[in-house]
Homo-oligomer: A and B are copies of this chain.
Amino acid sequence: MDMHDLTRELSLKNDSKIIMLVSDGIGGCALEPGGPTELEAANTPNLDTLAREGSCGLSIPVQPGITPGSGPGHLGLFGYDPLKYQIGRGALEATGIGFQLQPKDVAVRCNFCTVDDQGNITDRRAGRISTEEAAPLVEKLNNIKLDGAEVFVQPVKEYRFVLVLRAAGLGGSVADTDPQKTGVPPLDPKPLGERSNSTAVLAKQFFEKACEVLKGEPKANALTMRGFSPRPSLPTYEEVYKLKAGAIAVYPMYKGLASLVGMDLLGEAKTLSEQIDVLEQNWNDYDFFFIHFKYTDSTGEDGNFEAKAKRIEELDAIIPRIRSLDPTVLTVTGDHSTPALMKSHSWHPVPTLIHAPHARVDRCQSFGENEAAIGQLGTFEARFLMPMLLGHAGRLNKFGA
């Protein structure tokens, strides 16, 4: 029995408000044995109070030892088994730039490349042209017309862009055209199943028209395509939890992930303070709010322990504004760890707290990795956070008599 079968059956509506505050990559590591992690080093009086008054634990994003990207990291937090719901590379890339995929779409991650007179690739990344150089080329490609399908081409960064084909009945199983080496031409887009024949035909047409458009460009005169994928089919928060949910994020990737599970995208905030403005403005209209804070991840990726601790303190300072709204359930967590020590995402479980009237108060005196290890939530898979939040919000009926 899938967990969502259970929450579909047991969930009920009430007046509770749930806030999920995701501090991206918040989990960290000590720089030396006996030392504090970034979170433990930061001065966080407000998070510590939440920890003292609530329950803490450690969240495993996917499975022990597995380091997630942002996609599976957030799907887990949203309660969607990241191993069951895998988002194709193209769809994730489109989502990451805020492209709202429709059910009829197939998204493709593309790279500009350089080919010689014979059409053989001489540079798989087109000399790593800059975002600025790529922009006008992407715009030209976006004007390409195909028979029987709408075409959207959007820039990502440098030599990378996204192609979306929109037409009824397009399958998403087409082989990558990147030969992964130079001296040969890009491969033909080959359907990997009958349902994807027309997708492959459209992709081939797009490739040919694009090469015409790009003819004469010194570096970006061709392209390769990877990760053909349809819009992932995820049941919505309304369907599986009976929650009207809103997302308050700054970056396109997190807006995209939230919209895939049916959250409304709220506001146009650029700062944490503006995000809380948006929260206040929408407080009466939603049951559930996802608030995404990016900078604990980016400072971790930079390997800047001090800067990450400072960003955690910035997050801490906003907590009183959140608490003044008196949410029924407030959880603070992360989609994964990003230890400055490693300068990358990691598999380490993520400190997580739940603050609610019926949270079982534990012995955790502060919010941190090692305190959380003795907390009442134990060490749990992230996908179980949502049913725990629903339980704490009184939004789940008893299972069985």
A378 near B347 (CB under 8 angstroms)?
Answer: no
A326-364 residues with Cβ-Cβ distance < 8 A to B are 339, 341-342, 345-349, 358, 360-363
A373 near B363 (CB under 8 angstroms)?
Answer: yes
* Most B CB within 10 A of own CB, among A37, A53, A387: A387
* Most B CB within 10 A of own CB, among A3, A68, A358, A390: A358
* A66 and B387 contact, Cβ closer than 8 Å, known pairs A58-B378, A89-B401, A400-B92: yes
- On chain B, the residues within 8 Å of A52 by CB distance are 33-34
Selected from B37, B70, B360, B380, the residue in CB contact (under 8 A) with A369 is B360
Copies of this chain in the oligomer: 2
A1-48 residues with Cβ-Cβ distance < 8 A to B are 1, 3, 6, 10, 29-30, 32-35, 37
Selected from B29, B71, B391, the residue in CB contact (under 8 A) with A360 is B29
* A349 and B376 contact, Cβ closer than 8 Å, known pairs A64-B387, A66-B391: yes
Q: At the interface, yes or no: A164 with Cβ under 8 Å from chain B?
A: no
* Most B CB within 10 A of own CB, among A1, A82, A96: A1
A65 near B34 (CB under 8 angstroms)?
Answer: no
Q: At the interface, yes or no: A375 with Cβ under 8 Å from chain B?
A: yes
B358 near A363 (CB under 8 angstroms)?
Answer: no
Q: At the interface, yes or no: A84 with Cβ under 8 Å from chain B?
A: yes
Q: At the interface, yes or no: A279 with Cβ under 8 Å from chain B?
A: no
Q: At the interface, yes or no: A398 with Cβ under 8 Å from chain B?
A: yes
Selected from B96, B342, B379, the residue in CB contact (under 8 A) with A378 is B379
Selected from B83, B347, B375, the residue in CB contact (under 8 A) with A391 is B347
Q: At the interface, yes or no: A69 with Cβ under 8 Å from chain B?
A: yes
Complex alpha-carbon distance, A96 and B400, angstroms: 13
* Most B CB within 10 A of own CB, among A83, A373, A387, A400: A400
A369 near B374 (CB under 8 angstroms)?
Answer: no
- On chain B, the residues within 8 Å of A63 by CB distance are 3, 6, 384, 387
Q: Which residue of B lies closest to A341 (CB)?
A: B358
A99 to chain B, nearest CB (A): 15
A67 near B373 (CB under 8 angstroms)?
Answer: no
**Other than the known A341-B358, A362-B373, A370-B376, what 18 A-B pairs have Cβ atoms closer than 8 Å?**
A1-B84, A6-B83, A33-B53, A65-B386, A65-B387, A65-B389, A66-B391, A67-B397, A67-B399, A69-B398, A69-B400, A73-B400, A87-B400, A89-B401, A370-B374, A373-B374, A373-B375, A374-B374
- On chain B, the residues within 8 Å of A62 by CB distance are 399
A231 to chain B, nearest CB (A): 16
- On chain B, the residues within 8 Å of A387 by CB distance are 63-66
* A346 and B373 contact, Cβ closer than 8 Å, known pairs A65-B390, A399-B66: no
- On chain B, the residues within 8 Å of A89 by CB distance are 401
How many A residues, CB 8 Å from partner?
73
Q: At the interface, yes or no: A396 with Cβ under 8 Å from chain B?
A: yes
Q: At the interface, yes or no: A319 with Cβ under 8 Å from chain B?
A: no
* Per-position binary interface string of chain A over residues 108-120, scored 1 when its CB falls under 8 Å from any chain B CB and 0 otherwise: 0000000000000
Selected from B84, B86, B400, the residue in CB contact (under 8 A) with A82 is B400
Q: Which residue of B lies closest to A81 (CB)?
A: B1
Q: At the interface, yes or no: A246 with Cβ under 8 Å from chain B?
A: no
- On chain B, the residues within 8 Å of A388 by CB distance are 64-65, 347
Selected from B32, B35, B67, B360, the residue in CB contact (under 8 A) with A396 is B67
Complex alpha-carbon distance, A35 and B52, angstroms: 12
- Please name the 4 residue pairs, one residue from A and one from B, whose CB atoms are nearest each other, closest first: A378-B379, A65-B387, A65-B391, A65-B388
Q: At the interface, yes or no: A230 with Cβ under 8 Å from chain B?
A: no
A82 near B342 (CB under 8 angstroms)?
Answer: no
* Most B CB within 10 A of own CB, among A63, A66, A339, A345: A66
Q: At the interface, yes or no: A185 with Cβ under 8 Å from chain B?
A: no
Complex alpha-carbon distance, A391 and B387, angstroms: 28
